[in-house]
Amino acid sequence: MLRTLLGEKPRKNEGVLKDAIEAMADTLELFQRQMHVDHDPTHDFRKLYVWTQGLISSLDELEQSCFAASHFRQKVKAGSTDDMTIPEKAEYARYVYFYKDGFIRCFAILDKLGTVLNEIFELNTTNVKTHYSYFTVLRQFGYDKLHYVLANELIQIKDSYREPMSKLRKRRNMEIHYMNSEMQDDLWQLHQTLQGKVKLEDLDQHLLELRQGVDMVCETLKAAYGYINKKWHTQVMNQPAK
């Protein structure tokens, strides 16, 4: 959608993004098949079906936000907001909007996935924490020996993206819970300069970290749903918690 609004061609799914979407689409087919067989009297599979559909949509929106942030970043040439023209300030504001939207969506998707995993594998994470995150669910896998293969793969993915995800998580927390991230950067820089001009943050580095965040989310979804699909094909799953 955003590509069309920005005059670009529609996206062609490739790489790990394509793999993640296809893995989730395969799971949707399995849920549909099960609902057709037993009519899903407890609505467990229907619920998982809706959640997975939502994850596919959320991943699509995340990728679009990352693309839009990159698009508007290319229109920002000045090194300080004080040196920007009015049109360039508008482009910078659009970049900031989609950049923020991107890193917030990264963690929102992971938390939604955590809800799915907690439900399917009966991890009982609410016994540990009422309002839990994906990373809380991941810790719960440490106590679940039955699915250690998936747990190890998800932990390896998390560890391989530790640095960029840590930075994105800090910005997400500042944006949601504290003073937003660019205001904090501005205050710090005002203390470093006598002229009062605030140098822009490293936009290219921030975008690189956001793209790495998107890759981490894609790899995590691919691994989780790929595992669900394999388990489904190797054993009869009469209920979601098998």
**What is the per-residue pLDDT across 70-112, written as a single tens digit (0 to 9) for each?**
999 999 999 988 899 999 999 999 999 999 999 999 999 999 9
> Would you say residue 38 has pLDDT above 80?
no
Q: What is the pTM of this model?
A: 0.88
List, in order, residues 6 or more apart from 201 with CB less than 8 Å away: 182, 185
H or E element in which residue 130 lies: none
Give the Cα separation of 131 and 129 in Å (integer).
6
Tokens of 200: 């822009």
Q: Find how far residue 210's CA is from the centre of its chain.
A: 10
Q: Residue 125 is which amino acid?
A: T
pLDDT digit string, tens, across residues 56-77:
999 999 999 999 999 999 999 9
pLDDT digit string, tens, across residues 131-154:
899 999 999 887 777 898 999 999
Q: Which residues partner with 80 through β-bridges?
A: 199
Which letter does DSSP use for residue 197 in this model? Answer: P
The answer to whether residues 229 and 30 touch, using CB atoms and an 8 Å cutoff, is: yes
Domains of the chain: which residue ranges?
2-234
